[in-house]
Amino acid sequence: MQSFTHFPHPPLNKFVDLLWFYDGYSPGPHSKERLMPDGSIELVINLKQDEARIYDRENLDQYTRLPGALLCGPHSSFFVIDTAQQASVIGIHFKPGGAFPFFKMPACELHNLHVSLEDLWGHEAGLLRERLLEAQPPLK
């Protein structure tokens, strides 16, 4: 598995804590994973499939299906993801308040939500994912 993180330089570092990329992840014996809340906003793009599944915390047979480019709002409780969908993903971990210039909405409107990036950025979200799919992976 390849795992990369990048800490941006000014002026982006005022808003973004880190950029991350995972490729070649193979899930262990569990098919789902709990992600614990940390109050941050994260932009996540699945590079293998154009979808993401967020499972119901109480009933893991039920899930919400989203496009592969999504925004994870600040959470105050855990959420559950499909580990098989983590084979190749890239993301942006925003600093507190750092997502505002990119989304122009209060973080409280995203509380405990996952939102399609297309709902926020329109057609540009799909273009971003396409460009990332065409790009070469980072080198160590």
Residue 140 lies in a domain: no
> Could you tell me if residue 122 is inside a domain?
yes
37 within some domain: yes
Residue 123's domain comprises 2-134
Which 3 state secondary structure label does DSSP give 125?
Answer: helix
In a domain, 99, yes or no: yes
Provide the pLDDT confidence category of residue 101 given band limits of 50, 70 and 90.
Answer: very high
Residue 118's H or E segment, with its range, is helix 117-121
Query: Is a pLDDT exceeding 90 seen at residue 138?
Result: no
Least confidently predicted of 22-26, 36-40, 120-124: 22-26
Task: Calculate the dihedral angle through the C-alpha atoms of 131, 50, 42, 86, rounding to the nearest 10 degrees.
Answer: -110
The pLDDT, as a whole number, for residue 89 is 94
CATH of residue 103:
2.60.120
Within-domain flag for 13: yes
- If you average pLDDT over residues 84-100, what whole number do you get? 93
Residue 139 has pLDDT above 70, yes or no: no
What confidence tens digit (pLDDT) does each residue in 36-83 have?
999 999 999 999 999 999 999 999 999 999 999 999 999 999 999 998
Task: Indicate the pTM of the whole model.
Answer: 0.92
Number of H helices, E strands in the chain: 3, 10
Domain count, the chain: 1
Whether 139 is in a domain gets the answer no
pLDDT for 83 equals 86
31 belongs to a structural domain: yes
Q: Is 115 within the bounds of a domain? A: yes
Could you tell me which of 61, 75, 48 has the C-alpha nearest to residue 132? 48
